[in-house]
Structure 1
Amino acid sequence: MFKSLYVRLAVTFVGIVVLSFLIALSVTSHFYKNRFEEVIKDEISDVTQSIEAQLQYATFNEIKENIQLIYRYQIDFIQYGKSSNKIPKDELEKIYSGKEIYNLTPGPDMYIGLPITIEGEKGALIIKKKEFEMSMLFESLSTITWIAILIGTIIILIITKSIVYPVKKLTEATKQLAQGNFDATYQTKRKDEIGQLTESFIEMAEELSLLVKMREDFVSNVSHEFQTPITSILGFTKALQHKQLTEEQRKRYLSIIRSESERLSYLSKDILRLSHLQHGQYQLVLSTFSIDEQIRKVLITQEPQWSTKNLNISLDMEHFFIEADKNLLQQVWVNLISNAIKFSPENGEIYVRVKKVNRDKVEVFIQDLGPGIPEDEQKLIFTPFYKIDQGRDAAVKGNGLGLTIVQQIVALHHGTIQIVSEYGNGTTFIVTLLNKLSID
C-alpha cells in the first residue's frame, strides 16, 4: 500500500497537518488556561469582596441573588463540618482548614472553594458559573481543528495527485520507451522540477531515437560498404576461372581484386579504430612535439597527390610545441589534408595555417578552394559513413569514416573541430587544441 508515491505523500502531508494542529492546540490551550485562571481568580476576588461587603446589611439568600445577577456566578455556603454531594470530602476539609481550592479543569465540575464566616458561622463558600468560557473555547478549537484537518486533507490529496500524475505519466512513457516506442512522450507546460524532468525525458527519448536510427544506419552502411567490394571480388574471381582470358585481362582482374581487398582491410581497421575511440578503449600516448613540423611532414608525404593536381600549398605556421598523442594527431592532419587535396580543382590552392592563440591554445586552419559543402549537409559530415562527395564527384572515393575518426581524436584531446564552408567557395576546417605544456 505504502509503495505508492501518491499514498506516501498523502499520508505524510496529512500526518504533518494533524501533528501541526495538535501542537498548536496544545500550546494555545496551555497559554489560554494560564490566562483563564488569572482572570477567574481576579473575578473571584471581586466576588468575595462584594459578598463580605453585603454581609453587613443583607442575608445570604439576598447576596446569592445579587451575585448571580451581577457576576453570573452561583454561590453556596456549606457549614463547617457538613458534607456535600457536589464537593469531595477531602476538598471540603482543606477549605475548612483555611485553604482556597481552585478546580478549574474545563467541564461542568469547575468550582472555587473559599473559607468564609457568614453570620458568625464558619464554612466553605462554593462558587460556580453557569457558562464556562474555557470549555467553550476547547469545544470551538476542537471543532475548528477537525474542520481544518478535513479541508487540509482534501487540498493535500488534490495537490499530491497533481504532483504524482505527471510522474505516473512519465513512468508509463518510460515503459513504452523501453519497448522501443520512441513517440511515447508526455507534454507539460509546467516550469518546475517536474517540467524540467519532462523536458529531460523528451530530450532523452529524442536522443535514443536518433541513436537507434544511427545504429540502424551504421549497420546498413557497414553491410553496404562490405558488400560492394565482396561482390566485386567474387565477380572477378569467377571471371578468372575462364580459360579464354588473356594475360592482360587476368592481371587487370587480379589488380581489381587486390584493390578491393585493401579497401576491405582499410574499412575494417577504420571501423575498429572508431569503435575503440568512441568507447574510450584507446589510451593516449602523450609526448611533446612541434605541431607545425608534424604538419610539414604530412604535406611532404602527400606531395605525390597534390603535385599530380598541380596544387599550390600556402603555409603560414607559427612554431608551437604541444603535448599530445603524436600518432593520433598525425591521422587528423593526414585526413584533413587528403580531403583538401581530393576536393581541390586542378591548379588550385590549399592554405594551411597554425595560429598560436596563447601559451596553452593553438588553432590549425586547413582550407581548400573546392566546391564547398551545402549548409544543410555541414552538420552531417561527422556522421559515420556520410560522404561529403555524394552526388558531386563519383571519382572521389572514401568510406565516410575519416571525419568521424578525426572528430573523436580531437575530442579525446579536449579540443574542438569546426567547419566553415559555402557551397561553391571552398571549405575550411578549424581544429582548436589545448595544451598544458608549451615551449617557446
Structure 2
Amino acid sequence: MASHRKSRTPGPRVAGIRTPVLATAALTSVALLSQTANAAPTDDDRPSLEEVEKKVGDLYRQAESATEKYNAAKEKTAKQRKQVDTLLDDVAKRTQKLNEAREELGSFAAAQYRTGAGIPDTATFLLADTPQDIFDQSQLMDRMTGRQKVAVDDYVTQQSETMKKRQEATESLETLTESQGDLKTAKATVQKKLGDARELMAKLTAEEKARLAAIEKKKQQEAARKAAELARQQAERQKAQEEAAQQESGTSDSSESSGSATSPSTSTDSSYAAKAEKAIAFARAQIGKPYVWGATGPGSYDCSGLTQAAWKAAGVTLPRTTYDQVDAGTTVPVSQAQPGDLVFFYDDITHVGIYIGNGMMIHAPKPGAYVREESVYYDGESSIHSIVRPA
C-alpha cells in the first residue's frame, strides 16, 4: 500500500547533516555581516580633514600639558634626591659619632667592671637599650665622673637625633620613589600623545596634507591680521600716553621752577625695558632650534624652558613650569602688553611665549617645530590665557 505522506523538500547537508533552509539563510546573513565588519572603511567612515586637524591639535596640547607635569615632577624629583643625599650623609656622620661615643662609654663600663663596681662586661653594656639604662640600673650615676656623665648624656642625645634623621631619610626616600613614579607616568603620557598625533598625520594622503597646509596658511594670515590690529591699538595708546605726559610736563614746568622731570613709573618702565631687551635678544638668538619636550637649552627647548632661559639671561630667575611662571609677575591686559612680557595660553596654562611687540612673540611651539617668531594669535584669540610682566 502506497504511503500518502508528503515527501520533505530536501535541504542542503552540512557534514552529513541536513540543514533547514531557515538556518541556511541565517548563516548567510551572519557571513555577510562578518564581511561587512571586516571590510575596509569607506570614505564616509573616515574622519574629515577638519576633525583630523582638531584631533592632532588636541593631542599636541595634551602632550604639552603632560610635558609641564613632567617638568614639575622632574624638578621635584631633583630637589628630593638632593634632600635625601643630604640626609643620608648626615645620618652617616651621626652614626660614626655615635659609634665613637659608644666605644668611649664601653671603656667606662669596662673600667667600672675592673674596679669591682658590679657593672656587667662591655659586651653586655653594648647590647643594652641605652648606656643610660646600664648606669641607672646599677645605681652608679653618682659614682661617675663629670666627664663620664656628660658622655652618657651626649650619647643619649646623639642616639635620639640619629634615629630621627634616619626616619626623615626613610620618609624622603619614599617620597622620592613616588615622584619618580609620577615622572615615569608623565613621560609615558607625552610619548603616547605624540605617537598618536604622528600616526594620525601619517594616514593622510598627499592631497589631504596639501589641504591641511592651506588651512594652516589661512590661520596664519588671520593671526597676522589680528597681530597688526593689536600693534595699531598699542601704538595709538602709546601716542596718547606720550601726549598726556607732554601736557603734564608743560603744566609742571610753568608752576615749578625746579624738580626732577622723571616720575617713578617712568624709571620703573625704563628698568624693565632694559631687562626685557636682554631677554628678547637671548630668545631671538634661539630661533631655529628644535622644540624638545623637557629641554632647557642650549641646543633645544620646550616652551617654558625657553622663557626661563631668556629671562635668566636678563638676570631674572623664573620657575621651571608654566603653572608657576604665570604667578611670577604682574598680570596686565593684552592691550598693555610690553616687549618681554610672558604670554600664556589655554585654560590649563600649558603654553607660553615671550612678547616682542607688534602683536608678535617668540616661542617654542610644539614637537616637530622650531623656536620661531609668531603672532600671539597663532591659535586664535580665545587661546590667550593671560599676559604676565615678570620683573
TM-score (norm 1): 0.26
Instruction: Point out which structure has higher relative CO (alpha carbons under 8 A, 6+ apart).
Output: 2
* Structure with greater strand percent: 1
Q: Is the radius of gyration larger for structure 1 or structure 2?
A: 1
Greater fraction of residues in helix: 2
Give me the TM-score of the superposition, normalised by structure 2: 0.28
